[in-house]
Structure 1
Amino acid sequence: MPKSWFLRIGLVTGLLFLYLPILLLVILSFNANRSVAVWSGFSFHWYRELFNDQQLLSAAWLSVQVAFVSATFAVVLGTLAGLMLARFGAFRGRALFSGMVSAPLVMPEVILGLSLLLLFVSLEQLTGWPEGRGMLTIILSHITFTMAFVTVVVQSRLVSMDASLEEAAMDLGARPAKVFFVITLPIIAPAIVSGWLLAFTLSLDDLVITSFVSGPGSTTLPQVVFSSVRLGLSPKINALATIVVAIVAVGIIIAGIYNARQERMRQLDEKMAAQG
């Protein structure tokens, strides 16, 4: 019994530590006063100020565009890499390939950002592409490090997947491509969705790498927020953060419902296959 109470207290403490600051941020976004120490009443004033701040809105829109494109390409490349590591066995160069895919997971962002900057500068001097630093270089950089996270998620799902389903489909005459799109892809779809959401979040949140590879006219939301914190935090940032929290919460709920549905379908398919 004491052990149970200790675990419950630890769980509650951890949840409060994580979510209480977010709750305070949401509450203060409706504060009429600029100071976070004085509550002057409920107001939507800072939300109106936010929607009138074109710099902040432009940075937010750029971050969303970069995150969406980066996450989409990272999912495609990460799924192919995860499939290769999980299904192709001990091929020549596997250790090198696995190490290169996993390197962004353990490499400090400062080193990764600096190396990408040097790469883009060298390419521009040799080939003229990419021309300067901007949205394209940010997207390429974000694909580089988010792909590693997608690979880990998809590979772990493929490893735990029952390979007999694919073997049975091929025994019945299905080609490998059809097996992948009809059998494998629907089963690993929850992992792909999770990987996309993870890549989107990491890209949207990145500051260090983006600071190295961005240029004039390509300022992302984390850069604007960081600059505004250094000069004095505006309550408009609280309003923006509240909107982001609301969007993320809705996305998590939708993803949870989708994953639960896919898992039920997978279990039903496996049960029918076992009975057949």
Structure 2
Amino acid sequence: MVGKHLKRLYLALTYIFLYAPIMFLIIFSFNSEKFSSKWGYFSLKWYSTLLSDDRILTALYYTVLVAIVSSIISTIFGTITAIGIDKMKKGIGKKTILSVNNLPVLNPDIVTAVSLMTLFIFFKVPFGLITLIIAHVAFSVPYVILSVLPKLKQLPTDIVKASLDLGATPSYTMRKVILPQIKPGIMAGFLFAFTMSIDDFVISFFNTGSNVTNLSIEIYSMARRGISPEINALSTLMFITILILLFLANGKDLFKKERKNENY
């Protein structure tokens, strides 16, 4: 009994440690004062200021745009590559490709950022939105591959042969048999790529142009003269949006399970 209470206490302390900073951020987004060291009164001042700040809204636009586009491209490339790797015979070739895939994951961000920047300079590609998207795709694809491969390994070994023996074409087998089975891994890879893209700073900083900026770069530039409480308001809105999406996704799964149980 004591052990159970200790486990619950450790769990509660862990969650407090993880989410206390976010809770403070949310609270001070409603502070009328500019500095968090002093509490004035409850106010929506910074939310209204945020909606009229074109610079931050532009950075948010590019952040979301790059995250969505790069995540979609990364998920497509990563899924196709993972299927190809899974179909390879076991041997030194497959191990080499997996090791090469792990390099961007293990490499420090600064190495990947400078490497991509050097590549763009060598091919004389003008820095801007295109180079930013390409850079985000480059570091996101390995994570998608690592998310999809475990799901491919869980597939029954003869499921493709069985589908083809029953008269299905290879493209139909891919669309109706393989992809539905590995869908959770594909979605996990997409979300991973999306989160990494929004969170990234180093690679974005080295591979964007002067006319394109995202939130991480904008916040970094603000840090020199002091972070505006508008960022607290923006972070609060982003956190609440993600929280609602998680509740909707989990609620949908629970609703499906309940309906399935009722049918039985």
Q: TM-score, normalised by structure 1?
A: 0.87
**Structure 1, gaps ≥5 residues long:** 125-129, 269-276
Q: Give the whole-Å Cα distance in 2 for the aligned partners of 1:99 and 1:181.
A: 29
Q: Are 2:225 and 1:252 equivalent residues in the alignment?
A: no
Query: What residue number does 2:168 align with?
Result: 174
Give the letter aligned to residue 113 of structure 2. Answer: G
What do the CA deviations read for 1:163-211 (whole angstroms, capped 9, x no partner)?
A: 3433322221212221110011112112211211110110011001111
What do the CA deviations read for 1:241-274 (whole angstroms, capped 9, x no partner)?
A: 0111122222333444566789x6xx99xxxxxx
Q: Give the whole-Å Cα distance in 1 for the aligned partners of 2:6 and 2:140.
A: 37
Query: What residue number does 1:225 align with?
Result: 219
**Structure 2, gaps ≥5 residues long:** none
Aligned positions of 1:1-276 closer than 5 A: 1-90=1-90, 93-124=93-124, 130=125, 132-257=126-251
Q: 8 Å contact 2:88–2:94 — kept in the other structure? A: no
Q: Give the whole-Å Cα distance in 2 for the aligned partners of 1:191 and 1:110.
A: 28
Q: 8 Å contact 2:31–2:43 — kept in the other structure? A: yes
Q: Give the whole-Å Cα distance in 2 for the aligned partners of 1:148 and 1:261.
A: 33
Give the letter aligned to residue 64 of structure 1. Answer: V
Pair 1:181–1:259, CA change in 2 (3 A): farther
Q: Give the whole-Å Cα distance in 2 for the aligned partners of 1:190 and 1:67.
A: 20
Give the letter aligned to residue 100 of structure 1. Answer: V
Q: TM-score, normalised by structure 2?
A: 0.91
Report how many residues are paired.
Answer: 259
- What percentage of aligned pairs have identical amino acids? 31
Q: 8 Å contact 1:56–1:221 — kept in the other structure? A: yes
Pair 1:77–1:261, CA change in 2 (3 A): farther
Q: Which moved more, 1:3-12 or 1:15-24?
A: 3-12
What do the CA deviations read for 1:136-183 (whole angstroms, capped 9, x no partner)?
A: 111111101111111111111111233343332222121222111001
Give the letter aligned to residue 97 of structure 1. Answer: I
Q: Give the whole-Å Cα distance in 1 for the aligned partners of 2:5 and 2:255.
A: 34
Q: 8 Å contact 1:105–1:149 — kept in the other structure? A: yes
Q: Alpha-carbon deviation of 1:83? A: 1.0
Q: Alpha-carbon deviation of 1:92? A: 7.3
Q: Give the whole-Å Cα distance in 2 for the aligned partners of 1:195 and 1:261.
A: 24
Q: 8 Å contact 1:190–1:259 — kept in the other structure? A: no
Pair 1:220–1:76, CA change in 2 (3 A): same
What do the CA deviations read for 1:50-72 (whole angstroms, capped 9, x no partner)?
A: 11111111011001110111000
